[in-house]
Amino acid sequence: MRRKRWEITIKIPPMARQDIDRFLEKLSKALYGETVIGSIEGDTIRLYVYGSKLAKARTVRLIRKLMHEYSSPKGQHSMRRYSIQLLNREAGTALAPELFVEILKLYGYTAEWNGSDAIMTSAPPDVVFELAKLLANAIKSLANVYATRSVKRVLTGLLAIDPSLTPQIAVRMVVEEGAAKYDDEGKLVPAADWREALKKLGHRLYGGAVRSGDG
């Protein structure tokens, strides 16, 4: 009888990308039963679990424990200052610093913006500049979405956190979550605080960035 094969997809946390070998070593120790790494493409790892549904569930639980370790706040790291002008130049467009800070927090870094001309964060430069480019791509892809500024912040954040999302999927997520709704003119308007909506949906995409399916 052919054994069941379960597929699990993991997005490598930004904090782990600076030492992939160490992350893979910890991941290997977290795997349960007969689990093999199928492929590593960019920031995505595809695993295959052979066996029962219980074996898959236990593997997912152990991996999520590892992911939580990498998403825990790194407050001990020194804070760096990044000017808004520098981030906008890196992105090639104007970015919302309050959104930038919220995403860095989702990544597990300390980040703050007090309305000045710069943000402060414990995130290293490669993570900060990568996020700037991801946000720029997200802004461009949402150009034709009819929504208020606060709703677009949530959508932009989701597309930056998970670039594999399409604008249509992101819109469906915020509507189904009750974070936004359509008004009489067909415009997406907020139905909840944008920060809370991004935090909830963002954790679903990143904080629990372990997806499983049948093989």
* Burial (Cβ within 10 Å: 0-12, 13-18, ≥19) of residue 44: middle
For the segment(s) 5-72, the CATH number from 2.60.40, 3.30.1370, 3.30.70, 1.10.8 is: 3.30.1370
Indicate where the chain has its CATH 3.30.1370 domain(s). 5-72
Report strand pairing: 210-214 vs 35-41.
unpaired
pLDDT score of 75: 45
Return residue ranges of the chain for CATH 3.30.56.10.
77-140
Long-range contacts formed by 20-27: CB under 8 A, 24+ apart: 23/70, 26/66, 26/69, 27/63, 27/66
Q: What integer pLDDT is reported at residue 126 of this predicted model? A: 83
pLDDT digits (tens, 9 = 90+) for 61-76: 778 777 777 765 554 4
CB 37 within 8 A of CB 49: no
Residue 198 CB partners (closer than 8 Å, separation 6+):
99, 102, 103, 106, 153, 154, 157, 158
User: How far lies 78's CA from each of 104, 109, 120, 121, 124, in Å?
Assistant: 15, 11, 10, 8, 9
Distance, in Å, from the CA atom of 9 to the CA atom of 102, rounded to the nearest integer, reads 25
- Residue 140's CB: how many other CB atoms inside 10 A? 12
The pTM of this model reads 0.65
Q: Report pLDDT for 214.
A: 55
| CATH no., domain 77-140 | 3.30.56.10
* DSSP-based three-state secondary structure for 189: strand
Q: Which residues of the chain have pLDDT under 70?
A: 1-3, 15, 18, 32-33, 52, 54, 71-77, 206-215
Contacts of 59 (CB under 8 A, 6+ apart): 6, 8, 31, 32, 33, 35, 47, 49
How much is the pLDDT for 176?
94
CA dihedral sign of residues 69, 73, 75, 78: positive
